[in-house]
Amino acid sequence: MQHRHVLYILAMACTAACGMAAQLFSGYIPRIAASLLPGVDAGDAIRLIGSYGGSAFLLGWAIGAFALGWVSDKIGRRYAYFISVLLATSAMLFVSFADTFFMLICARVVMGVGVGSVLAQSVVMISEAFPTSSRPIVVGILINAFPMGFILAGLITQSTDDWQAGYRIASAAMFLAIAALVIVRESDMWSARMLAATQENHNVWHRSYRRDLVVAIVLFGSMLLGIWAVLAWMPTYVAKMSMPEHSQTNRSLANIMFGAGNVVGGLLSGVLSNRLGRRKAAAIGYVGCLTTTVLTLQTGLAPSFTFFAGAFSICVFIGLNQGILSGYLPELFPTIVRGTRTGLSMNMGRVLTATGVFFLGVLVEHLGGYHNAITLFAGAYVIGLITLIWARETRGQDLPR
C-alpha cells in the first residue's frame, strides 16, 4: 500500500466532499421545492421535497454501504473505493440538471449509494493502514471530515441562491474519483488475508461475530436516527423561525455550526476513546447528544447567539459519538468480511432512519413543530445507551485477522 498519510489526506478530502453533498440539499430545500413543485403550497412542497429527498438519500446510503462493502471484500478496497467516490460526486452534477421531482429523487438515491460507501470504506481502509495506538484518533478525525463538508455547503449556499448553480460548483469534487483511482493501492491486510481465506469466514452472519454485528447495528442505527433528524431538519427550523430577510443566512450559519461542532467532536473522540475505552466514551456521546438537543430545542430559543451555540454543542457530541463508534466497528470484525460488516453496521440503521426522516417531515404539524419532532427522534439515543451493556470492549486490541 502507498504511504498511509497520502491515503489519509485523500480519504479526508473524499469524506468532506460527501458531507458537502449530503448537507447541500438541506440548505436548498425551499429553493428546490419552489422550482420543482411550483403549483404546491410552499410549506407542503418543502415537507414533500425534504421528506422524499432525505429518505431517498438515506435509502441509497444503506444500499451502497452494504453492496459496495461486499464488493470491497471480494475484489479489494481500491476499485470499490473508486466506484464509490465517482457515484457520490457525479450525482451532484446530476442533481443540478434535475428538472422534475422524479429526477431529483433518482439522483439523490445514486448520491446516497456513493456517499454511504465512501464513509464505510474510508473507515475500513484507514483502520487497516494505521497501527492500534493511533487508529481511534485518526478514524475519529477522518469520519468528522464529513461535517467539514457542511461548512463548504454553508459557504456555497451563502454565495448563491441558485440551487442548480450551487450543485454545479460542488460537482467539481468529481476530480477526487480520478485521484482515488491513481493514488489508492490495495490494502496489505486484505491481500494477505485473501490468500488464507476460508469459505466459512465469508458468511456475514457467522455465529462467531453475530452478537457483535447485532450490537454494532443497534449502536450506530440509534445514533443515526437522532443525528439525521437534526441534520435534515434543523436548517429548515432555523429558517422558519427567522425573519424573511435573515432566513437564508441563518440556514447557512446553522450548517456552518454543524460542521464546526462535528469537527471539534471528532478531534476529541480518539483521545477519549483511548483514555476511557470505547463503551464509556460512547456513553458520554449518547448522553451529551440527548441533553444538548433537549436544552437547545425545548427552551424557546429564537435564532440568536445562544441558539447557535446550542446547535454547535449538539454537533460537538454528534461528532464525538460518530468518531468513537466509527473507530470501534472495524475492530469487531475479521479482514475478509470487514468491509461488508462495517458497511452493514454503519448503514442497516439508515433504512429505519430514512423512514424516520420521512415521517418527521410529514408529522411536523401533528407534533407541534420541527423542534418537538427533532426532540422526539433524539429519544433514539437512549436505545444506544442501553445497548452498550452488551458491547464488547476492544481498547488496545489489534484488528481481527
> Could you tell me the CATH number of the domain that includes residue 373?
1.20.1250.20
Please indicate, yes or no, if residue 396 is contained in any of the structural domains: no
Enter the C-alpha cell of residue 350.
439508515
Residue 304 within a domain: yes
Range(s) of the domain holding residue 44 = 4-186+205-390
pLDDT single digits (tens) 313-368: 998 999 899 889 988 988 888 877 887 888 788 777 666 666 666 666 666 667 77
Asked if residue 26 is part of any domain, the answer here is yes
| 397 in any annotated domain | no
* Residue 246 contacts residue 355 (beta carbons within 8 Å): no
CB 62 within 8 A of CB 351: yes
Helix, strand, coil % (nearest 5) of the chain? 85, 0, 15
The answer as to whether 53 is a domain residue is yes
Torsion sign across C-alpha atoms 318, 323, 324, 325: positive
Total tally of structural domains belonging to the chain: 1
CA 107/CA 105 separation, integer angstroms: 5
Q: Are 125 and 133 in contact (CB under 8 A)?
A: no
| Closest of 4, 183, 1 to residue 82, by C-alpha | 183
The answer to whether residue 254 sits within a structural domain is: yes
Expressed in angstroms, the distance from the first to the final Cα of the chain is 17
Q: What is the pLDDT along the chain (401 residues), one digit of tens a residue?
A: 457 888 999 999 999 999 999 888 888 888 999 999 988 888 888 888 888 888 888 888 888 878 888 888 888 888 899 999 999 999 999 999 999 999 999 999 999 999 989 988 898 889 888 887 788 889 888 887 887 887 888 889 888 889 999 999 999 999 999 998 888 888 777 777 665 555 445 555 566 677 888 998 899 888 888 877 777 677 777 877 777 777 777 777 877 787 788 888 988 998 899 899 999 999 999 999 999 999 988 887 777 788 888 889 998 999 899 889 988 988 888 877 887 888 788 777 666 666 666 666 666 667 777 778 788 888 889 999 999 999 999 887 877 76
Kindly state whether residue 90 falls inside one of the protein's structural domains.
yes
Asked whether residue 360 is domain-assigned, the answer is yes
Which pLDDT belongs to residue 52? Answer: 87
Name the residue type at position 250: N
Q: Which has the closest alpha carbon to 294: 268, 313, 281, 322?
A: 313
Give the list of residues 6+ apart from residue 228 with CB closer than 8 angstroms, or none: 54, 58, 353, 356, 357
Q: Which three cell numbers stand for residue 364?
A: 411536523
Task: Retrieve residue 241's grid coordinates.
Answer: 423561525
* Cβ 381 vs Cβ 221: under 8 Å: no
Amino acid in position 79? Y
